[in-house]
Amino acid sequence: MAKVTISKDVCKGCELCATACPKKLISFPKDVLNAKGYHPAYIANMDECIGCAMCATMCPDCAITVEK
């Protein structure tokens, strides 16, 4: 199982990671804001993640790390 870590304080909610995710696991809850006022990325069901790291590759701010 892969472990995905999203730095919520760095994420600016650009949604590029959600577009890149082949399993469509990434969402942006509207009730959560980070210190900069953005809705950070969130993965609700980590068990379905295949560890492809496409989300981390697409993130322009390097806010996502993926460990297999």
Taking the C-alpha atoms of residue 39 and residue 50, their distance in angstroms, rounded to an integer, is: 24
Three-state DSSP state, 13: coil
Which domain, by its residues, includes 31?
3-67
Q: What is the pLDDT of residue 68?
A: 85
What per-residue confidence (pLDDT) applies to 1?
A: 81
Q: Which of 13, 22, 15, 7 is nearest to 62 (CA)?
A: 7
The reported pLDDT for the residue numbered 31 is 96
Q: Is the pTM of this model over 0.85?
A: yes
Q: Measure the CA angle with vertex 21, ends 27 and 54; round to 5°.
A: 125
CATH of the domain at 52: 3.30.70.20
In total, how many domains does the chain have? Answer: 1
Q: What is the pLDDT of residue 25?
A: 97
57 three-state secondary structure: helix
Pairing label, strands 3-6, 26-27: unpaired
Grouped pLDDT means (10 residues each) for the chain, 68 residues = 95 97 97 96 95 98 96
